[in-house]
Homo-oligomer: A and B are copies of this chain.
């Protein structure tokens, strides 16, 4: 008998038929004698409908009331899921985030979980119930309803798994698990049996968005292993867990491609202290998330340099505005933007103990005539920025070379 937390996202509970399927799966675990806590999201489309209603009233709804409104989405799902279990003669009770003892800070619409008091959850489990908990929501110590922001239901599941010391936390989604690369782009992509938190985080930040990084970070911080698997079949998924020694035997765990990159180059920037700081402070103030930065070394008595950085493509226009506004103060020659860039990343904890991965990557890309525009590395990742026109070919070549 195990204590299992299962999380089902919006597509897994999109309508009452899907909810019945979820109930079937939960019931099969319950029938084996497992204690099951189910965390559910709002039914697909419900959150957007609620946001639409709010926007009919005000363009930027007030945060506290937005949380009050959005929390109804998951509350609807928990009730329906409990009913679906009742039709299968499984005892089940639903709990809102507040009832499940999820206490957050007071930052409405993106609250952080402070602690969980799962006494109600435990007593209901002990009475033989499946416990259905509303994901994405909690309450402050003052009793105000809060929501956790994007990916909040994953976070609820992992936090509850941590609080109740669950034997297993399963994140059900519409993919079979975490793949060596995007199977839509590379047909030889393989599902991974396991992956470390850090590898998962690097892949997520490189465009492989199975889960929001904050949930993985939370799981890592509190040492909660979890399985990402599909709610549409019975296939085993991918176990995400603390790095183990034998994980390093696999040098490259995955290869990812982020196709939403753009590159900005400032040509002829005066090479003096404080200039770069000024530029990136201004971008940060404008809420532009800068990823890679490359600066050449200046030469001569009045040196200038070229400064390049990448941003999400949607932030390009804003970046250009910010930079243009700085020109009178800093004085650079010109700004060159490349809108269509991709970032290819090779990730693996084995890279810590294996050398030559970067060289091999450059070699592979060179053989494909792919021009590398920028390079950045971490202990377990090498990323290169390439033209989007060559990005998918580059991804296939790298996957062939390192994994397939």
User: What is the interface of chain A, defined by CB distance below 8 A to chain B?
Assistant: 16, 19-20, 50, 53-54, 56-58, 61-62, 64-66, 68-69, 71-72, 75-76, 78-80, 82-84, 86-87, 93-94, 96, 99, 120, 143, 145
Q: B57 touching A80 by the CB < 8 A rule?
A: yes
CA distance A303 to B300 in the complex (A): 129
Q: A99 touching B62 by the CB < 8 A rule?
A: no
Q: B65 touching A82 by the CB < 8 A rule?
A: yes
Q: A86 touching B65 by the CB < 8 A rule?
A: yes
A69, A86, A96, A145 interface centre (most CB from chain B within 10 Å): A69
Q: Given the known A-B contacts A65-B82, A65-B94, A82-B65, are A58 and B76 also in contact in the complex, defined by CB atoms under 8 Å?
A: no
Q: B87 touching A57 by the CB < 8 A rule?
A: yes
Q: A58 touching B75 by the CB < 8 A rule?
A: no
CA distance A8 to B275 in the complex (A): 60
Closest to A142 in B: B120
Name 9 A/B residue pairs within 8 A (Cβ), A-sorted.
A16-B53, A19-B57, A50-B76, A57-B83, A68-B79, A69-B75, A72-B72, A72-B75, A120-B143
Determine the chain B residues whose CB is within 8 A of the CB of A145 once the complex forms: 96
Contact of A71 among B68, B75, B83, B120 (CB under 8 A): B75
Q: A68 touching B53 by the CB < 8 A rule?
A: no
Determine the chain B residues whose CB is within 8 A of the CB of A71 once the complex forms: 75
Q: Given the known A-B contacts A57-B16, A57-B20, A99-B143, are A78 and B82 also in contact in the complex, defined by CB atoms under 8 Å?
A: no
Q: B72 touching A76 by the CB < 8 A rule?
A: yes
Q: B72 touching A86 by the CB < 8 A rule?
A: no
Q: Given the known A-B contacts A75-B75, A99-B143, are A54 and B66 also in contact in the complex, defined by CB atoms under 8 Å?
A: no
Closest to A94 in B: B68
Q: Given the known A-B contacts A19-B57, A20-B57, are A82 and B94 also in contact in the complex, defined by CB atoms under 8 Å?
A: no
Determine the chain B residues whose CB is within 8 A of the CB of A76 once the complex forms: 50, 53, 69, 72
6 A-B pairs besides A16-B57, A57-B83 with CB distance below 8 A are A57-B80, A64-B93, A68-B79, A68-B94, A69-B79, A69-B83
* Min CB gap A45→B, angstroms: 13
Q: A83 touching B58 by the CB < 8 A rule?
A: yes
* Min CB gap A317→B, angstroms: 29
CA distance A65 to B16 in the complex (A): 15
CA distance A82 to B69 in the complex (A): 10
Determine the chain B residues whose CB is within 8 A of the CB of A20 once the complex forms: 57
* Min CB gap A298→B, angstroms: 53
Contact of A16 among B56, B66, B78, B83 (CB under 8 A): B56
CA distance A16 to B55 in the complex (A): 10
